[in-house]
Amino acid sequence: MKVKSGLILLLTLVITGLMVFTAFYGFGVNHYLGADNIRLGLDLAGGVNIVYEADKENPTSAEMAAAKELIQGRLDRGNYTEAEVSIEGEKRLRVDIPGVDDPEKAIEDIGSTALLQFISPEGEVILTGNEVKDARRDVITDNNGISRPVVVVEFNDKGRDAFAEATQKYINQVIVIALDETIISYPVVEDVITTGTAFISGNFSIEEADELAARIKAGALPFKLNVLQSKSVGAKLGTDALNTSLKAGLIGIILVLLFMLIFYRVSGLAADIALIFYCGTIIVILSAMEATLTLPGVAGIILSVGMAVDANVIIFERIKEELNSGKSIRAAVDAGFSKAFSAILDGNITTLIAAAILFWLGTGLIKSFAQTLAIGIILSMFTALVVTRIIINQFVNIGLKNPKLYYANKEA
């Protein structure tokens, strides 16, 4: 039993060390899964913040979603891979582009409302996005019983007549669909279309069909986007804030580790190992998710560290009460974790619900805080209820059974 428990304890320490090493250094030249591979938000990396406003009184949510897709697509094509677009209120879009210094250049690269064109084989413009009423993904089944995704494009009355004339003229030929002078589809005209509804088919997946429909709809926006505000955020300010926050967090974690070790002894040592495992693991998870870390996100991580320690304190106080009532150390550990479970679960679930609401309704920095807080809550519950328990059980199995080692007032 002692040998097996010793091996389990050693394996736990090795896994903890591996998580910490991975968090610090990652793997490969790109530091995959490491802290250096975590993307930094605008407030930490510096960059440009732009706010667009729809030039329309009451745009619909679908129109704003299409506008967001338009801007995000342009950013991706412009190699602004770290940029994020979010909807604010009813008619505004916020664009955060880390690592960029010049707002005017970013605005120029993003451009204005998309230009959607249907172009004939001779290079003439048949119709534009102004004649498109809607675009959506659908699934059709051919004569062989095979289902495949298509994009359904609906035209207004003017577009219906122009498209009917074009499909009659260019039967069995290609009509090119271009967005911002970039060709996005090459549909072949198979029939004369007089209904005002066109089907664009091809070898694309459901996700690709959704993207194509969104881009076509974006080109048909009935409003333009005006730049309401643009500003630069200095990288030095973000770097200083990050360094200060990390130092404060590190000092806080060290003090917590010492507190747990001094007041809870063997239990505290188990909690310290679990907490170190937690710190390494959450960095690895954020890196694997390619999450964008902001200053509020750092605060969410530090807050969840406190919640992990709080869960351990509840458990250890329950163990202490069980030991003082005369139970053996093994029975006290089992009862302590069992009685503390409901209190820990209830407290963390309510916080998790709050984090979910913040992520759902919030934008930008608020979402970053909610994301890291939610991940931290789930991971902190796992480390407190599973990792800490495994470590304490192994300590008991190797012979550490004196109640005084577990902060008891008297021996069992």
Handedness of CA 397, 399, 403, 405 (dihedral sign): negative
pLDDT for 325 equals 86
The values of phi and psi at residue 378, to 5°, are -60, -45
CB within 8 Å of 384: residues ≥ 6 apart: 271, 274, 308, 311, 312, 315, 344
Residue 375 shares a structural domain with residue 313: yes
Number of other CB atoms surrounding residue 94 within 10 Å: 21
User: The CATH number of the domain where 66 resides is what?
Assistant: 3.30.70.3400
In a domain, residue 225? The reply is no
* 108 contacts 193 by C-beta, under 8 angstroms: no
pLDDT for 411 equals 45
Q: How many domains does the chain divide into?
A: 3
The DSSP symbol for 144 reads T
* 242 contacts 44 by C-beta, under 8 angstroms: yes
* 29 contacts 19 by C-beta, under 8 angstroms: no
- For the chain, residues with pLDDT lower than 50 are 410-412
pLDDT for 412 equals 40
Residue 263 shares a structural domain with residue 385: yes
Separation of alpha carbons 183 and 187, rounded Å? 11
Residue 206 shares a structural domain with residue 258: no
Residue 80 shares a structural domain with residue 30: no
Residue 166: give the domain boundaries: 116-219
Lateral strand order in the sheet of 132-141: 132-141, 147-155, 197-200
Separation of alpha carbons 213 and 183, rounded Å? 14
DSSP 356-396: HHHHHH--THHHHHHHHHHHHHHHHHHIIIIIHHHHHHHHH
Residue 22 shares a structural domain with residue 63: no
Q: Which candidate, 82, 366, 108, 72, places its Cα nearest to that of 235?
A: 82
Residue 69 shares a structural domain with residue 199: no
pLDDT for 82 equals 67
In a domain, residue 15? The reply is yes
* Distance spanning both ends of the chain, measured CA to CA: 22
In a domain, residue 295? The reply is yes
Please identify, among 113, 129, 160, the residue that sits at the C-terminal boundary of a domain: 113
Q: Reduced to 3 states, what is the DSSP secondary structure of residue 39?
A: strand
The DSSP symbol for 406 reads G
Please identify, among 62, 80, 113, the residue that sits at the C-terminal boundary of a domain: 113
Separation of alpha carbons 40 and 23, rounded Å? 15
* 75 contacts 86 by C-beta, under 8 angstroms: no
Task: Give the mean pLDDT of the chain.
Answer: 83
pLDDT for 16 equals 93
Q: Which candidate, 196, 219, 199, places its Cα nearest to that of 209?
A: 199
Residue 265 shares a structural domain with residue 351: yes
pLDDT for 104 equals 79
Residue 387 shares a structural domain with residue 285: yes
In a domain, residue 28? The reply is yes
Residue 94 shares a structural domain with residue 155: no
Its pTM stands at 0.65
Measured CA to CA in angstroms, residue 367 lies from 208, 219, 370, 380 at distances of 26, 28, 5, 19
Number of other CB atoms surrounding residue 295 within 10 Å: 20
User: The CATH number of the domain where 358 resides is what?
Assistant: 1.20.1640.10
Please identify, among 67, 87, 113, the residue that sits at the C-terminal boundary of a domain: 113
pLDDT for 17 equals 92
Say which amino acid occupies 354: A
- 208: exposed, middle or buried (Cβ count in 10 Å: 0-12, 13-18, 19+): middle
